Amino acid sequence: MNRISTDILISGGGVAGLTAAAAFGSAGFNVICVDPAPPITDGDAAGADMRTTAFLQPSIKVLQDAGLWDRLAPHAADLQIMRIVDAGGAQPDPRIVKDFNAADISDLPFGWNLPNWLLRREMVARLTDLPNVDFRPGVATQSVLTRATEALVTLSDGSRVSARLLIAADGRNSPVRQAVGIPVKTLRYGQKALAFAVTHPGPHGNVSTEVHRSGGPFTLVPLPDRDDQPCSAIVWMERGPEVLRLAALPEAEFEAQMNARSAGLYGPLKLVTPRSVWPIISQIADRFYAERTALIAEAAHVVPPIGAQGLNMSLGDLRILLELAQADRAGLGSRKMLETYNRRRWPEVKARVTGIDLLNRASMMGAQGLRDMRAGALNALYSVAPVRKTLMKAGLGMR
């Protein structure tokens, strides 16, 4: 059986795994990255991921160092203002609107938003420029055996790989995490999310808007114009059965309900992409490492799509892991390195998972009295400038 040695094997070729491959490859490590599903890199192709990712300020240096940001920046839409709208009154109209402006804490926008399918296209292109990165789409991780000096991984193409470090970036049901025996704690909300894109008559003004009523937030995030019309991505969170009902509606009926839920903030919204449905959970692994193995991204933690935290937490994992690898290249994948990674990363992630869980539960409130309490809390937090700025910095991961 063919056996290959490498510095790092990355199991998972989603956005997080591809970013990790580009980052470690750009830093001079030999990398193999595998994923059982070839990436869909055309937004019009069947199965394309219609979600978007907002990269917050601290994530940009990771992308720059990986040689990715120059490819991505021309396609990105700035996120200058985060707008929170409470539409939890008797009628679904905006009753409280609060803007959190990045200019209050920085000369830069909060972040930059891009479609997930486009991220995959540009990331795969970057990997072709790196001779020390071997990307194998359509190849799965079949088995894992670790010992003190290496991780031995058998792949579905018949290869056996000896890696000094195995990185699990293979999703919330991570086969690698299961293989190395790391338990997880999962919270289920009975929610799902619809993801799609719309055009609208007026410009979005680089404003990302969360509309809260019940069931979860209805979030509109700026995208570059589409066919010369202003365009936004939408993530609409609701109770699971309601999402399935909405997903099955004819387009005209869906647009009518979508426009009602948007509180009319952007004028008439026109659906311009397919609708995809995604389950909503919170999840965190009991630890982020095992022998010769590091968990990152959804293999380590999953949060509801609130405040653009998900992938930015994943890039936070990558930043720490890469920093430790570069500081001691001889110790790549050692127990000391991985214990340090876990110590620096797990408590911060746990705090964010807990905070986003609370925000999601608040957004789900259905009883009128509870929705009124939520509106009052938003007013109170926004009214104190130091608190408002602290919340913005915390959301960015700034200290």
How many angstroms separate the Cα of 339 from the Cα of each of 10, 19, 128, 291, 321? 19, 23, 32, 10, 11
The runs of H, that is alpha helices, within 46-143 are: 57-65, 69-72, 116-128
CB within 8 Å of 46: residues ≥ 6 apart: 40
Residue with tokens 């892991």: 321
* Per-residue pLDDT of the chain in tens (399 residues, 90 and over written 9): 578 999 999 999 999 999 999 999 999 999 999 999 988 888 878 888 878 888 988 899 999 999 999 999 999 989 898 888 887 777 777 777 888 888 888 888 988 999 999 999 999 999 999 999 999 999 999 999 999 999 999 999 999 999 999 999 999 999 999 999 999 999 999 999 999 999 999 889 888 898 888 788 899 988 888 888 999 999 999 999 999 999 999 999 999 999 999 988 889 999 999 899 999 999 999 999 999 999 999 999 999 887 767 788 999 999 999 999 999 999 999 999 999 999 999 999 999 898 888 887 877 666 565 565 655 555 555 565 554 555 545 555 555
**pLDDT score recorded for residue 383:** 60
Longest dimension (CA), the chain: 67
Say how far apart CA 187 and CA 360 lie, in whole Å.
12
**pLDDT score recorded for residue 196:** 92
**pLDDT score recorded for residue 399:** 54
Least Cα distance to 208 among 111, 115, 304 occurs for 111
Residue with tokens 């311009």: 272
Strand duo 3-11 + 31-35: pairing: parallel
Backbone φ, ψ for residue 320 (5° rounding): -65, -45
Say how far apart CA 182 and CA 71 lie, in whole Å.
36
Across 237-269, b (16+ Cβ under 10 Å) vs e yields: bbbbebbeebbeeeeeebbeebbebbbebbeeb
Domains and CATH numbers, the chain: 3-45+115-186+281-359 (3.50.50.60), 72-112+195-275+365-396 (3.30.9.10)
What is the reported pTM? 0.89
Cβ distance 349 to 314 under 8 Å?
no
The β-bridge partners of 199 are 231, 270
E-state strands within 41-110: 52-56, 77-79, 81-86, 96-101
At 228 the three-state DSSP class reads coil
Cα distance between the two ends of the chain: 50
Q: Quick one: how many helices (H) and strands (E) in the chain? A: 11, 20
Structure tokens at 287: 């630890």
At 82 the three-state DSSP class reads strand
Rg of the chain in Å (alpha carbons): 21
* C-alpha angle 78-169-362 in degrees, rounded to nearest 5: 55
Say how far apart CA 298 and CA 316 lie, in whole Å.
12
Cβ distance 314 to 296 under 8 Å?
yes
